[in-house]
Amino acid sequence: MNSESKKFLCDLLGQCGPSGFEQKVQSVWVNRTKNFSDKITRDVHGNAIGILNPKADFKIMLAGHCDEIGFIISHISDNGYLHIIPIGGIDTGVLPGSQVKVQTEKGWIDGIIGKKAIHLMSPEERKKVLPMKDLWVDIGAKDKKDALKVTKVGDPISYAPNYLELRNNIFSSKGCDNKMGAFVVSEVQKILSTKKSKLKVGVYSVSTVQEEVGLRGATTSAFGINPQVAMAIDVGFASDMPGVDKREVGEVSLGKGPILHIGPQINPVLGQLLETTAKKKKIKYQMTSLGRPGGTDTAAMQLTRTGVATALISIPNRYMHTMVEACCADDLVAASHLVAETILNITPKTNFIPQ
């Protein structure tokens, strides 16, 4: 990964954007992606769309959602503590001791998710995972009046940015799900912008919103774009860690390439084209099965209007939906080149009707 791409990746991960509050993330994405697009737009939901060859009749949509899981303030106690409800799927067992950012009208303020010290717990309490309603965010306020000077009910909360580089090009950060997808669709745009003479189709790279609460951004943007082909780039479960059953998720490791899939939401022609391109270009990839449509933007795009030929490309991810998700930069590079090279093999005459 070159220095410009790495800076963009770190800039994305350095932003906080729970579902419905993605504006700061989208600003970073737009400011970068506009350099590699013929046109860039944003819609009423907050989706950002970079377009190459906007006059082409045959359209390919790429979707990488930029939103992340988070919280929203539901109540402020008399003592000034912030009580929260989840945005997206939250594992409450990993929350105590977390550092967070509260988005206020005047900017982000720091907070921590607290819990009674283990010394003060009974043996039974130590065994329990606290429900969300029994957790709180401490911003250091003296009381409710003091807290209301800087925040209010309805303010969103995210895990604090915490990018960390590990060995073998592996990095850890909150929000890898799915700033990895938003990164890749912009990176594909960057690659294709240098090969426009070979591009026979229109490409609509979309940083979608509100995926974590129901694929909402992909649903509306796909309807507006009306593509013939669509690919979602998201994260997928790595199984190279303790406790993950490979019989359920397959053999998936960080650093061995993006995950391709076979299953009902994968158009067989497009799926085969991705695999053939990977082999021809000597791009590493891994393969897993999808038994039924899952919770990615692929599902929403596949059912748009009269139907779309779809595929899912996943970036292997450890510790999904925690504040220490881990991915490998090599997989991001491989995914970007695989998607770009696949698009260059598609023409308006390519028939995606399964035979």
Q: Read off the pLDDT of residues 164-192 as tens digits, 9 standing for 90 and up.
A: 999 999 999 999 999 999 999 999 999 99
Residues in CB range of 38: below 8 A, 6 or more apart: 51, 52, 53, 54
Phi, psi of 243 (to 5 degrees): 90, -5
Give the mean model confidence (pLDDT) for residues 255-280. Answer: 97
Question: Residues 26-52: what's their mean pLDDT?
Answer: 98
Torsion angle of the four alpha carbons 88, 92, 93, 96, in this order, in degrees rounded to the nearest 10 = 120
Q: Report the side by side order of strands in the sheet with 325-328.
A: 164-165, 170-173, 325-328
State yes or no: pLDDT of 281 exceeds 80: yes
| 211 in catalytic set | yes
| Angle ∠(188,190,192) on CA atoms, nearest 5 | 70
Check whether 277 has a pLDDT greater than 90: yes
Measured in whole angstroms, how far is the alpha carbon of residue 204 from the centre of its chain?
Answer: 17
Give the other-Cβ count within 10 Å of 166's Cβ. Answer: 11
DSSP code per residue over 304-321: STT--EEEEEEEEEBSTT
Residue 294 has pLDDT above 80, yes or no: no
Percent of the chain with pLDDT over 70: 100
Query: What are the structural domains of the chain?
Result: 3-68+174-344 (3.40.630.10), 83-159 (2.40.30.40)
pLDDT of the residue at 293: 74
Kindly state the DSSP code that residue 68 receives in the 8-state scheme.
Answer: B
Please tell me whether the peptide bond between 178 and the residue prior to it is cis, using omega within 30 degrees of 0: yes
In a 3-state reduction of DSSP, which class is residue 324? coil
DSSP state of 130: P
**Annotated catalytic residue within 22, 211, 212, 341:** 211
User: Is 80 exceeded by the pLDDT of residue 98?
Assistant: yes
- Please give the model's pTM, rounded to 2 decimal places: 0.96
pLDDT of 317 > 90? The answer is: yes
Q: According to the model, what pLDDT value does residue 46 have?
A: 97
Residue pair 174/325 in contact by the 8 Å Cβ criterion: yes
**Mean pLDDT, range 79-106, rounded to an integer:** 96
